[in-house]
Structure 1
Amino acid sequence: MRALKILGLCILVILASTGIAAGEDDPLPPDEEAGNLTIYDTLLNNGTFTLMVTALNQTGLNETLSAERPYTFFAPTDEAINAYSADILNLLLKQPDLLKQLLNYHIADGTYYAADLEEMDTLQTLLGMDVAITVTEEGIRVNQALITQSNITCTNGVVHVIDAVLEPPGTPKYTIYQTLNRTGTFATLVTALDVTGLNETLNGTEVYTVFAPTDGAFNNLPEGVLDALLNDTAALNEILLYHVVDGFTTRNGLVDAGTMWTLQGGTLTISETDEGVMVNDARLTIADILCRNGLVHVIDAVLVPPEEKVVDVVAEPTQGESPLTVQFSVNGTVENITAWYWDFGNGFMSTRESPLFTYHEAGTYTVSLTVTDDTGQTYTAVKPDFIVVEEAAPEEMSIFETAAADESLATLVAALEMTGLNETLNGTEIFTLFAPTDEAFAALPEGALDALLNDTAALNDILLHHVAGGEYLAADLIELEALEMLSGKSVAILWDEANETLMIDDARVTVSDVGCTNGVIHVIDGVLQMPEEVPEETPEETPEETPEEEV
């Protein structure tokens, strides 16, 4: 029955589908050729029925009305179709599948001339519903439509021209907004629509599907929430738009779709359970209330848009002198992140969760981060002009002075002073110092540090194994496999790209490129050990041959 109520809406899809204005031709001429054509060809050959012909083509009824079986066809002119309601027209544009059923309301099985109709009160159509036949002073009426030209004989029946579209019983009279306003159970929703101006949207001609919470649903909101929404138009508008879907979707269409995009931009999840059809966590209590501009589905709870998931970039510091080492991390509401892709704005990237990155050149850098969660959804944050790297101020301290100013290098400084290497690293000759922290010295085997401090020569050798002649920045070291130290021995250099870690033998560089007046310092988390001497093998002496005694 619900389908029958909306059939009267469908004829107007013809107008929008063709874009043809109503013709100005005269009605069908009663010429000799008329009786030699089928119903379809008769309409086709006359410019008064261009919209109807297009509709018949779209629905396949052109073939029905071209066959041998006799029919009676009540044919609205283009002018009659153009005079029909514009809001129902837009509704029908969303439901062209109903067009065929509506056209069947204009067709009767068999041939009925005007004289036959005058003897009848009703006539059953192919739709299965009757049209009323009445004889008035003006002529014969089919429902409210007047037959303006009758008895156009065709090879497979007869055509009667009518001045209005036949509208089946049950055609809706009210818009979505009017329907809600006429029903006492949606007073809160109507008030909210009035406050936001959405009443005009749902009172127009565009077609929508609305999920309508009852007054009881609004009353079930936590205390104070409704009043807060009514006083916050922007927030209320977002809530209401989350209840509106573009187009015409019935209950069955909702279930088949499973997900619906709302005008708010979020999605609704539709599921069919033992309790009925669920829209997110709200139950659909009444479905498919037909309106002139769409459908209303009644629900028992207010739909609340989910919190928008966002990702953000955190960095410390964001400004400083070159070289600037920045610790990056992720912030935001995205959960279960499985992949990270950082772009530091200078051609370097990272896939670590919280990368530590050093900027060596002055400039302003835009940083972007794209993350992927466990569902495969990606989220991107872009921070324009986020990192500001300034030109480094002129370096004023030597390597030794810089180390002495760092509280974490106290043990190293004391050792340099004991061996006199403090003077070497306080001069003008250029060096690179790999500086173990106090924690690194404390991690030596028990007694090893005390033994070194009591053996100046051994301590001097160890310290010289931490110093290289010349200046080697981190970018230089990455390109090397080994570096010769002042000890005369070499250390191995390894750049672990996966972990973005620079290793010197077994020690990790924790702070790189500390500039000094006479070189550079790299802080390391271990004490570099001198490689063990491998004694050279002494060839065995070959005993001298004793000359044989002369016989």
Structure 2
Amino acid sequence: MIARLILVGLAACVYGETIPELATRLGATELVKLVTDAGLAGTLSGAGPFTVFGPTNAAFSKLPKNILERLMRDKKLLADVLKYHVVSGNVYSSQLSNELTAPSLLTMNGKALDIRFNIYNNGQNASNGVIHVVDRVMFPIPFEDIPTEVTKQSARFSTLLTAVKAANLVSTLAGGPFTLFAPTNAAFAKIPADVLNKLLANVTALTDVLTYHVVSGTYWSASLSNGMMPKTVEGKAVNIKIDGGKVMVNDATVEEADLAVTNGVIHVIDTVLLPPAFDPSIY
């Protein structure tokens, strides 16, 4: 299980402050309050060193009210969630690299749960460790790799799953990390049935189409920008268009963004992407 986060904060290095003290000065007061409520203030004020990925007050405000209330009622769950934001040792921004993973303090079945880093800024020093300010609260929720997640959500991805199996790409999509722009069943239904059936029977053409939906690396929605043209595994680029909160990939609209998987991220789209100059009618 691996969570993703975006580093958003930057402050001057100040020595002599513990992690809770520095978090308070940085304005992460909700984090400090919850750390205290969970009985972790003493630990995070101790010798350490620790690296904390500290959600801002705004990050906590994004949580549904019922989730926050449950965390307040269940101190063990609260402590587990907070531990999932902490790594042992001093991990400075200069040591972080995109797609790096590191074990958190939270363990499950005797194994530390990993955090995956997708980086957009830097962190701060404390006397007993380092704080990186992040824009979301991370939850240690079990999730799967891309093929398993597509299989679990077969109600909307059954055609995609059939295509991936027909093209023998299941093991490939279990690698990565990848970003998958995943067409729904409704997206595939836009293709005439006879053309789709011929495409599914042509492994070479099908592989070209499917790999045109895959980009190497993890591109969360926050890392996408208008006019961006990431190169796909097929070899050609897709065009990202963002206007008024609407995100498009070529002519496909993103219906749901940022589905977390262990080896990347999935964005759900409403239209099948076809490589430039690709003519499905000939199949």
TM-score surpassing 0.5?
yes
Structure 2 residue 205 is the aligned partner of structure 1 residue 235: yes
Q: Paired residue for 1:127, among 24, 47, 55?
A: 55
Given that 2:146 and 2:262 are in contact with CA atoms closer than 8 Å, whether structure 1 keeps it comes out as: yes
Cα distance between partner residues in 1 of 2:19 and 2:242: 44
Deviations 1:72-120 (A, max 9, x none): 69xxxxxxxxxxxxxxxxxxxxxxxxxxx9xx99x95895269xxxxxx
Aligned with 2:225: secondary structure?
A: helix
Select which of 80, 93, 104 maps to 1:143. Answer: 80
Residue in structure 1 matching 2:219, options 229, 238, 249? 249
Task: Give the 3 Å change call, closer, same or farther, for CA 300–62 of structure 1 in structure 2.
Answer: same
1:6 lines up with 2:4 in the alignment:
yes
Residues 191/145 of structure 1: CA separation in 2 closer, same or farther (3 Å cut): same
1:173 and 2:143 correspond: yes
Q: Are positions 1:197 and 2:127 aligned together?
A: no
| Counterpart Cα distance in 2 of 1:236 and 1:275 | 31
Question: Deviation string for 1:94-151 (max 9, x for gaps)?
Answer: xxxxxxx9xx99x95895269xxxxxxxxxx9436779766xxxxxx953999xxxxx
- Check the 8 A contact 1:262/1:268 in 2, yes or no: yes
Which of the residues 157, 164, 188 maps onto 1:218?
A: 188
How many residues are aligned here? 193
2:205 alignment partner, SS class = helix
Instruction: Find the counterpart in structure 1 of residue 236 from structure 2.
Output: 266
The secondary structure found in structure 2 opposite 1:228 is helix
Task: Provide, for residues 129-186 of structure 1, a one-character-per-residue CA deviation record: whole Å limited to 9, x for no partner.
Answer: 779766xxxxxx953999xxxxxxxxxxxxxxx6844774254511111111111101
Compute the displacement of 1:280 (Å). 1.3
Give the deviation of 1:197 after TM superposition.
1.7
Decide which structure has the larger Cα Rg and report it.
1
Structure 2 unaligned regions, length at least 5? 22-27, 45-52, 61-70, 84-104, 115-137, 279-283
| Paired AA for residue 16 in structure 2 | E
Aligned to 2:238, the other structure's residue is in SS state strand
* Counterpart code for 2:248: M
CA separation in 2, counterparts of 1:235 and 1:289?
A: 27
Structure 2 contact 81–140 (Cα < 8 Å) conserved: no
Counterpart check, 1:280 vs 2:250: yes
Call closer, same or farther: CA 1:127–1:196 in 2, change over 3 Å: same
Helix, strand or coil for the counterpart of 1:192? Answer: helix
Alignment correspondent of 2:50 = none
Using a 3 Å threshold, how does the CA distance of structure 1 residues 188 and 61 change in structure 2: closer, same or farther? same
Aligned equivalents of 1:254 and 1:144: distance in 2?
27
Q: Secondary structure at the match of 1:305?
A: coil
SS of equivalent residue, structure 1 residue 185: helix
Structure 1: distance between partners of 2:237 and 2:187: 20
In 1, are the aligned partners of 2:231 and 2:238 still within 8 Å (CA)? yes
Gaps of 5+ in 1: 11-58, 74-100, 115-124, 135-140, 147-161, 309-551
Matched, 1:69 2:17: yes
Residue matched to 1:426: none
Kindly tell me: are residues 227 and 166 of structure 1, through their superposed partners in 2, closer, same or farther at Cα, counting changes over 3 Å? Answer: closer
Separation in structure 2 between the aligned mates of residue 61 and residue 216 of structure 1, nearest angstrom: 47
In structure 1, how many angstroms separate the alpha carbons of the residues matched to 2:259 and 2:226?
A: 19
**1:145, 1:244 → 2: CA distance?**
33
- List structure 1 segments (4+ residues) > 6 angstroms apart after TM superposition: 59-62, 129-132
Q: Map of 1:429-440 to 2, 5 A cutoff?
A: none
Whether the aligned pair in 1 keeps the contact of 2:226 and 2:242 (CA below 8 Å) is no
Distance change >3 Å, CA 72–CA 210, structure 1 → 2: same
More helix by share: 2
Distance (whole Å) between structure 1 residues aligned to residue 106 and residue 241 of structure 2: 46
In structure 2, do the counterparts of structure 1 residues 61 and 216 end up closer, same or farther at CA, with 3 Å as the change threshold? same
Matched residue, 2:272: 302
C-alpha separation in 2, matches of 1:68 and 1:185: 53
Distance in structure 1 (CA, Å) of the matches to 2:180 and 2:242: 18
User: Kindly tell me: are residues 270 and 63 of structure 1, through their superposed partners in 2, closer, same or farther at Cα, counting changes over 3 Å?
Assistant: same
Alignment of 1:344-493 (within 5 A): none
Distance 1:234 1:219 in 2: 21
Distance change >3 Å, CA 226–CA 60, structure 1 → 2: same
Residues 222 and 62 (structure 1), Cα distance of their counterparts in 2 relative to 1, 3 Å cut: same
Change (3 A) 1:224 1:257: same
- CA distance in structure 1 between the aligned counterparts of 2:271 and 2:195, rounded to whole angstroms: 14
Kept in 1: contact 2:143–2:260 (CA 8 A): no
Quote the residue 2:94 is aligned against: none
SS at match of 2:170: helix
Which whole-Å CA distance do the structure 2 matches of 1:172 and 1:61 have between them? Answer: 33
Aligned to 2:159: 188
For 2:43 and 2:202, the matched residues in 1 are separated by 65
SS in 1 for 2:163: helix
> CA-atom RMSD, angstroms?
4.3
| Matching residue's letter, 1:68 | G
When residues 60 and 72 of structure 1 are mapped into structure 2, their CA distance, relative to the original with a 3 A threshold, is: same
**Residue identity matched to 1:112:** G
